[in-house]
Amino acid sequence: MRYSNKIRISLTLLLLWSGGLVSCGADSDKNHSPTSHFQKSNSGKLGPTINVIADNGNELESQLREIMNSPNLPENVVVQLPAGEFKLTESIKIHKPGVHLKGVGKGLLTIDDELDIPEAPATVLDFSLQHDLAAGGSGAEGILIMADDVVIEGVAVLNTVGDGIKAGGVKNLVIKNTRVEWTGPIKESNGGYGLYPVNADQVKLLNCFVRGASDAGIYVGQSNNILVEGNLVVENVAGIEIENSTNAWVRNNVARQNTGGILVFDMPNIQVGTPDDPGIQGRNVKVTQNKIIENNTRNFAAPYNIVAITPPGTGVLIMANDEVEVSGNSIEGNKSMAVAIVSYYMVDPTVNDQLGLSTYDAVPESIYVHDNTYLDNGLEPQPSSSTEDIAEQVSELFNELGYKMPTILYDGIGESIAAEPFSPERRICVQEGPEVVVGELYSESPVTPMPVYDSKRLDCQHAPLTVDVNW
């Protein structure tokens, strides 16, 4: 490919930087402070800025490929992308530590009382051409991160074949002020995840907008030390999902018009080294100060995905996870249920036998739901699909007793199996106003539903969880 002179100069500066001949982004005017040409990376160190100059997707792609693969890439470099819409054919792969990939434009999300969609970043990376193999399309993710201390900021990632931004096995990751979206109608063939860190440590996902993911808009799995804050997730199957992860805080987000607003799952067999190893088990997850509004979008997940069981109209769903606190949230207009706390036995009663797991704990324990506000939830339970209608079936069981769907649903299977209440530290506790009704499904037997409306067994308290996000 032929480059313009500006592009050639930009790449030449990159290659020369490590030899000490130039400082990328530096100005020859000695009156300028040297630090004005550098930005702090995620690790807190100073790094040079490389300005990418491109007029189209081909030029941008070629430059990024050379930059990311350069053996002389400076430590803690800021790669500044230009404004504009760029159609790309391949994934952007970051496999060297300390890269700060930054778009142009304010890109900050200010979510007002009307929940307006925020201003989008001015750097738009459209991966529609990934689908066209004849045109050289390749890869699945928009941005694939395989290194520590990476920051993604102020970019829009659109229409990827697979996940929008994926990070695997990394530490100290920040994604902020970023948009990931599948811009057409919502459909099963959309990519699975918008923001997708997995097997990661120290993850911050801040002030992002995600729409159209066929699994989860924001998913953090098998990870530790997590902050998900200030994001807007719309028209995904799961708005936000924390799975098999520890020390996570999900706060001040808006989840609206998804199938399910916020999901906290602990799945079997996620990472198995031996038949008896259940993988990373989720615990210590706080869900606070979120707006979980009208999550009634039809479930468009592929039928083999676990989120395919999520009924449209689900506010918060906790499955098999321990030590979860749900407090200070506004949960409104979710047609099937506001909050559900269930075991994995609701999905598969024989999970331990089938997988040969002796240590997987399918039962949620130490859950504390308190001080949330609720409005108009559970008024019209919805089927997950043409073959799955668990919310409707549960609602009918309560209807037969003359009641509607309770505000908070607890399946009770774990305590039914134990044939006795949990010890105080393991209990499922709810402290809400008198208008909030708690219902139990399997109150006596783990085999036969025996619903109890307005159960008092969950009238208890736990100490608030502590999640340190100041790493």
pLDDT digits (tens, 9 = 90+) for 52-74: 999 999 999 999 999 999 999 98
Report the C-alpha gap between 331 and 229 in whole angstroms.
17
Q: Using 50, 70 and 90 to split pLDDT, how confident is the model at 44?
A: low
pLDDT value, residue 5: 38
pLDDT value, residue 112: 46
Token match 């949990």: residue? 422
Q: Is residue 328 part of a domain?
A: yes
Token match 């440590």: residue? 201
Q: Using 50, 70 and 90 to split pLDDT, how confident is the model at 323?
A: very high
Q: Could you read off the pLDDT of 260-290 as tens digits, one per residue?
A: 999 999 998 775 444 455 556 789 999 999 9
Q: Provide the residue range defining the domain that includes 293.
A: 5-371
For the segment 352-367, the average pLDDT, to the nearest whole number, is: 77
Out of 47-51, 206-210, 310-314, 349-353, which region has the weakest mean confidence (pLDDT)? 349-353
For the segment 126-145, the average pLDDT, to the nearest whole number, is: 80
Q: Give which of 190, 185, 230, 196 is closest to 214, Cα–Cα.
A: 190
Q: Is residue 27 part of a domain?
A: yes
Q: For residue 138, is pLDDT > 70?
A: no
For the segment 86-113, the average pLDDT, to the nearest whole number, is: 80
Q: Using 50, 70 and 90 to split pLDDT, how confident is the model at 20?
A: very low
CATH of the domain at 362: 2.160.20
Q: Is residue 429 part of a domain?
A: no
Those residues whose C-beta lies under 8 Å from the C-beta of residue 292, and which sit 6 or more positions away, are: 239, 255, 256, 261, 262, 315, 316, 329, 330, 331, 332, 334
For the segment 375-392, the average pLDDT, to the nearest whole number, is: 81
Q: Is residue 395 part of a domain?
A: no
Going by their DSSP bridges, the two strands 246-251 and 283-288 should be labelled as parallel
Q: Using 50, 70 and 90 to split pLDDT, how confident is the model at 395?
A: confident
Q: CA angle 226-158-108, nearest 5°?
A: 55
Give percent of the chain with pLDDT exceeding 90. 64
Count of residues in the chain: 471
Out of 62-76, 342-356, 358-372, which region has the weakest mean confidence (pLDDT)? 342-356
Structure-block tokens of residue 321: 């996870």
Q: Is residue 282 part of a domain?
A: yes
Give percent of the chain with pLDDT exceeding 70. 80
What is the pTM assigned to this prediction?
Answer: 0.88
The total domain count for the chain is 1
Q: CA angle 406-411-415, nearest 5°?
A: 130
- The torsion angle over the Cα atoms of residues 442, 444, 446 and 448, rounded to 10 degrees, is -70
Distances (CA, A) of 410 to 61, 228, 244, 362, 435: 50, 26, 20, 14, 17
Q: Is residue 405 part of a domain?
A: no
Q: Is residue 398 part of a domain?
A: no
E-strand stretches of 27-164 = 38-40, 46-51, 78-80, 84-87, 92-94, 100-102, 123-126, 143-145, 150-153, 155-158
Q: For residue 217, is pLDDT > 50?
A: yes
Q: For residue 467, is pLDDT > 70?
A: yes
Report the C-alpha gap between 125 and 449 in whole angstroms.
50
Q: Is residue 440 part of a domain?
A: no
Report the C-alpha gap between 204 and 418 in whole angstroms.
38
Q: Could you read off the pLDDT of 434-461 as tens digits, one per residue?
A: 999 999 998 877 778 888 898 888 999 9
Q: Could you read off the pLDDT of 242-262 as tens digits, one per residue?
A: 999 999 999 999 999 999 999
For the segment 162-177, the average pLDDT, to the nearest whole number, is: 96
pLDDT value, residue 46: 58
Q: Is 287 strand, coil or helix? A: strand
Q: Is 317 strand, coil or helix? A: strand
